[in-house]
A and B are shown apart, each in its own frame.
Chain A
């Protein structure tokens, strides 16, 4: 039985707070943690499948043009080689998140260097890899493909454009104004587990083990690509070794494995190499961003301008949503916002953790620091003065707003010294030391979701949904929600995820997984509680469940009387989405040291204070924040995709040369979880967590670099060469 709940108004009942089990929010360790660290949790490529052949993708060595011929005979006589697949249905790009339809297909048309054009299948992986390198391909090359986003006429994204009042005039009349241009380089998700799939047919039924974040969309993408009915496909993705957006949509190996398995009548596994993952999946677009801030003598914003240029391939709808939080974070009645996309022939741009704010906030919060300095106002105070009462562009209230609390609690916990700030005040040996801060903001996303909860006659529970756990703790928090509602220890709750046979939901991405699927589980559990309450003669509100018993000591097993009780929860966000602006907020504080001689920057300590609604598990929530802060360090200091200026290929495509922060770069990180219940965000009063922790953190570091050594840098990442170039003598 399905219980449908569409949320049209805020739910401030905070029912979960009144439950008696007392496990929700507790810092429980991840249920699947032991299996993962002992290597017993199978990832997509690890399922033992008999008679499985191995496929390796062949990628283009030109930037634009077409494949005129593929000489199969060049590899078919090589040891172990079974076949070459260059089917029209092969995908040449990964699907964008929530695409719900096949990504670009037709491998003969080449749009970027490194694009998949064929698959070689062999008995062993090594044989396939060798043959893939030896496949003779003839091309007809088209010269002059645009590669530089600055050199083409970009397309305006009309739905992002805001012209409100007269910004030019506000700038002219402002007591303090800032007009600066920031750049950020491209980023990679750099998940540990490479993209991989095993496809296997049983009659006309196809089963695919793949590493994916959003099965409900992915099955539609795969079905569309193969021209099949969804009902004949089963997708399984129980463990995912990191996604960070790169596995939102299916990528090339999923369709390739399925086509290959059809062609040779055997199961086929395709695992992308590290270099291929970097080159064929998704990049976060580089950005160029102009920030204009006009303020009165008290530092209150009168004008706000944020214009951004990003890039993508022709035919892609995704444009890095740089301005997402800029629309509502600060006031200022005169507003100019504009997002433009340059069409260039570099690999596909798409979602990488916190698309938009991950790069928009570091620019905005850098500019705010410049304004604070010009206006002579403490940076924390400047932000406090500019928190709007409602969304400054649409006449909408905020569902809940914790920025001020985060700024205050964060400053307190960090030991922020308020007042006038001057750079180059502290030196220890070769090192300049300084502090900086920034606000955090990330829009709250939520989506329709279903989950089935079965309270078993033996007093345990089972939760089933196609939701994925990409390493964030979903298994654990769903067990906690069900445990809290049904009065069970989470160990008594078995959570089954990552299988399209289960009730469907939006999956994991855009930080919406916990609130969306968590709400579906909550709704299912509530329905079960109603049944149980009826048996006891009480109302659902009165029913107290704890340790498998009611308040009067009646056990669940006796109430169930040998029968399982199952309910499917179906959550749907209703009109509420149009009535409020919902967002997570926070504040970052950083202390860094900058070497006077070498320009090297090292972060000494960092603190983030965040308000993202109800905390479902203090440990996994905190881990998400630490992860976000780690990414902030990468954005600030090291991460940059480098593209060859002549053919647009990604040059630094492995983890040795694409520099994510290493353990030693991530110092003492402290996280303050600010209490919040956001009734408009979801029925469980939770919002997204996974991305907020990196939305602005890079600016705290950039601002600290300035405070430390006086180098005001407008280009991320702030590598030693850039620091030295900007450092005063």
Chain B
């Protein structure tokens, strides 16, 4: 671990100043950052501890939605009565992630910013364009079972590994960001970026900006499902996951908000999938058509080829369950 300076950030504006530098990072729960520092994947010269900034409330918004503080823990969020009642897909996604101990420490803001679990990213003696631009991508032609099949580039095929953000994407949540230039809001669906030629840029946060909260829209009801496919039943990242908010009216899809995890560098949301489903009667053929569209541009890298049929099957399972539950 490289020696670093630790400062407890006294205020939001000070945090912006502290973290504006190249070599500075904010630390919240530390469950991801500290691991990466021990491995020297992250080598900040300065750590700004944001835990005392106060954004840990979970509170109602004026339009009936809910605001999740960036520093509220994953556990506090998942057990919050309104999250459980009005946004069950979110509670389920959070509880499907990591372990109880980690969730007790992990924060909502840190969860959105967690880094990929690519084996080559976390091993500093291996090439990785994300960690060391220009060094090459170790995963392509390497061990890539967990890697992406959508939105990849020839620079990087890593996935965003988290669960919570997949549910937030399905819910159409909005990220609140604060920095020296003021505050701004970005839809979760636009928060994470595809790797392209700059895989080290993972989200829209600029230097000195931090997440202060997440806004959930007014509850939409429907059947809410989070399905995470994994090798063991806890403490494993998703091979594929699906967050779904489904409603049927007169036997036809009247809501089909879907987002997918484990497939790409960001929670995957494809509005064309919803368009195909809306207004239609559920059927195997229709679900297949939705999967065709979703996976139209999917590309496997050998070891992860299975994710393509697995996504199709998982979507089928989720929509079948949702229509049965709704019926």
Contacts and interface: CB of A to CB of B under 8 A. Distances in A.
Given A597-B314, A725-B306, A642 B231 contact: no
Contacts of B286: none
Interface string A623-659: 0000000000000011000111110010110001101
A665 interface: yes
B95 to A, nearest CB: 12
B317 A130 contact: no
What are the 5 tightest A-B residue pairs by CB atom distance, in nearest-first order?
A: A597-B317, A721-B306, A651-B119, A61-B125, A664-B233
A659 B231 contact: yes
B314 A130 contact: no
A659 B232 contact: yes
Given A642-B143, A646-B142, A651-B123, A598 B310 contact: yes
Interface string A457-476: 00000000000000000000
Nearest to B1: A126
A444 to B, nearest CB: 33
B239 interface: yes
A178 interface: no
A599 B310 contact: yes
B313 A724 contact: yes
A15 interface: no
Q: Which of B117, B123, B138 has its CB near the most chain A CB atoms (within 10 A)?
A: B123
Interface string B4-40: 0000000000000000000000000000000000111
A133 interface: yes
Interface in A136-152: none
A663 B119 CA distance: 25
Interface in B211-238: 227, 229-236
A283 to B, nearest CB: 15
Nearest to B146: A657
Interface SS majority for chain B: loop
Q: Is the interface of A mostly helix, strand, loop or mixed?
A: loop
Contacts of A602: 233
A724 B310 contact: yes
B153 interface: no
B310 A600 contact: no
Interface residues of B, number: 37
Interface of A: 61, 79, 126, 129-130, 133, 273, 275, 430, 595-600, 602, 637-638, 642-646, 649, 651-652, 656-657, 659, 661-665, 717, 719-721, 724-725
21 contacts: A126-B3, A133-B124, A430-B317, A598-B227, A598-B313, A598-B317, A643-B143, A644-B138, A644-B142, A645-B141, A651-B143, A657-B119, A662-B232, A664-B233, A665-B232, A720-B310, A721-B145, A724-B306, A724-B309, A724-B310, A724-B313
Contacts of A659: 231-232, 236
Contacts of B254: none
A638 B231 CA distance: 6
Interface in B70-128: 117, 119-120, 123-126
B262 to A, nearest CB: 12
Contacts of B281: none
A598 B239 CA distance: 10
B204 to A, nearest CB: 27
A664 B124 CA distance: 33
B3 A130 contact: yes
Interface in B144-188: 145
B316 interface: yes
Contacts of A275: 39, 123
Contacts of B52: none
Contacts of B1: 126, 129-130
Contact of A600 (B120, B124, B230): B230
B317 A720 contact: no
B125 A720 contact: no
B252 interface: no
Nearest to A719: B231
Given A602-B233, A646-B142, A720-B310, 19 more contacts: A129-B1, A130-B1, A130-B3, A273-B38, A430-B317, A595-B317, A598-B317, A637-B231, A642-B119, A644-B143, A652-B143, A657-B117, A659-B231, A662-B234, A662-B235, A663-B234, A724-B306, A724-B309, A724-B310
Nearest to A279: B123
B290 to A, nearest CB: 15
Contacts of B143: 642-645, 651-652
A657 B122 CA distance: 11
